[in-house]
């Protein structure tokens, strides 16, 4: 075996709207999140300009293969600040390689720098989400409640 051959390097970095927009839209669509280039441009630009928001991407050999979107939230009921994971996506062909875990680790680091005490996410209870739920529990998340939603129209 040639010891000069390097393994592909995974880099997790803050997203850049100009270079990452199309890849992030493709990741969102892979999980059937309805979005457009313009909507995602607004979201990424907002995260670039608001210190309480952050979008990071996982890049492997120059190609974006995963992303995490974060939101700092102040709890009214408890005297704490939390980081919410509002999106976590790894491209289908790269799942099971530790990339999601690395993205969550980066989310934890960002949250700590923001002064947050907890990291949380909300996920639907559809059967196709079961693998994601197993992943969250495997990496240390605890299932603690329900989400109740009411449309405002």
If pLDDT is split at 50, 70 and 90, which confidence band does 32 have? confident
pLDDT tens digits for 57-98?
999 999 999 999 999 998 777 788 999 999 999 999 999 999
In sequence order, which residues have a C-beta less than 8 Å from that of residue 46 and are 6 or more positions away?
A: 53
Domains and CATH numbers, the chain: 10-137 (3.40.630.30)
Hey, how many other C-beta atoms are within 10 angstroms of the C-beta on 97? 14
pTM: 0.87
Hey, how many other C-beta atoms are within 10 angstroms of the C-beta on 24? 25
Q: Whole-angstrom Cα distance, residue 88 to residue 136?
A: 11
- pLDDT for res 7: 62
């Amino acid at each position: 075996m040639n010891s000069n051959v390097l393994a592909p390097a995974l880099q997790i970095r803050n997203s850049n709207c100009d270079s990452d927009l199309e890849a992030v839209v493709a990741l969102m669509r892979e999980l059937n999140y309805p979005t457009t280039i313009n909507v995602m441009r607004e979201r990424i630009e907002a995260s670039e300009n608001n210190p309480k928001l952050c979008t990071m991407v996982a890049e492997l050999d120059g190609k974006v293969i995963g992303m995490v979107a974060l939101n700092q939230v102040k709890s009214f009921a408890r005297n704490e600040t939390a980081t919410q994971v509002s999106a976590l996506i790894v491209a289908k062909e790269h799942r099971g390689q530790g990339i999601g875990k690395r993205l969550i680790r980066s989310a934890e680091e960002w949250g700590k720098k923001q002064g947050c005490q907890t990291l949380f996410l909300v996920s639907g209870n559809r059967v196709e989400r079961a693998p994601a739920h197993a992943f969250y529990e495997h990496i240390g998340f605890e299932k603690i409640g329900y989400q109740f939603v009411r449309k405002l129209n």
